[in-house]
Amino acid sequence: MYRRAQEVWTKFNCSNLGQYVDLYMKTDILLLADVFEQFRSSCISTYDLDPAHYFTLPGFTWDAMLKYTQQELELLTDQDMFLFVERGIRGGLSQVCCKRRAHANNKYMLKYDSTKPDVYLMYNDINNQYGWSMSQYLPYGGFEWVDSNIDIATIPDDADE
């Protein structure tokens, strides 16, 4: 790695670290610009949408989905329903911080104590909640209040209604 840096330093006649950093920044920015322009060209030719006109890629993807599927979205006009949905929006940092340390005790442990209860630990890496939720069905219309006596736990995730 250092040898490569020396070769670049010599090839481009750098006389101080500032010139070397400037060279790095120019090449890094030009490469990024080239990759982004190729991405733009690909998106424009595929979706006829320009990602440079969007603040985020999820916003671009949403528009591409609507254009590709030609799905019509019903405007939610009932104020009570709108406020109900709005109150259900959650976001921000979420973590479980209630127990800092746990100890396993089971037959697979080197220091297993059979006089104590068996304890198994499980680690769940659930950092992709957004990705998971985006793969689920989304409502697009036909909004109506449902009977409060329905037990939603009995309805399959892939049910039509």
The pLDDT of residue 156 is 87
With 90 as the cut, is the pLDDT of residue 12 above it?
yes
Global pTM exceeds 0.75: no
> Residues 85-106: pLDDT tens digits?
999 887 766 566 666 788 999 9
With 90 as the cut, is the pLDDT of residue 8 above it?
yes
Least confident of 77-81, 116-120, 131-135: 131-135
Sign for the pseudo-dihedral over CA of 114, 115, 118, 121:
negative
Q: Where are the domains of the chain?
A: 2-154
Question: Distance between CA atoms of 161 and 155, rounded to whole angstroms?
Answer: 9
Of 45, 43, 91, nearest in space to 63 by CA: 43
The pLDDT of residue 133 is 78
Least confident of 67-71, 133-137, 138-142: 133-137
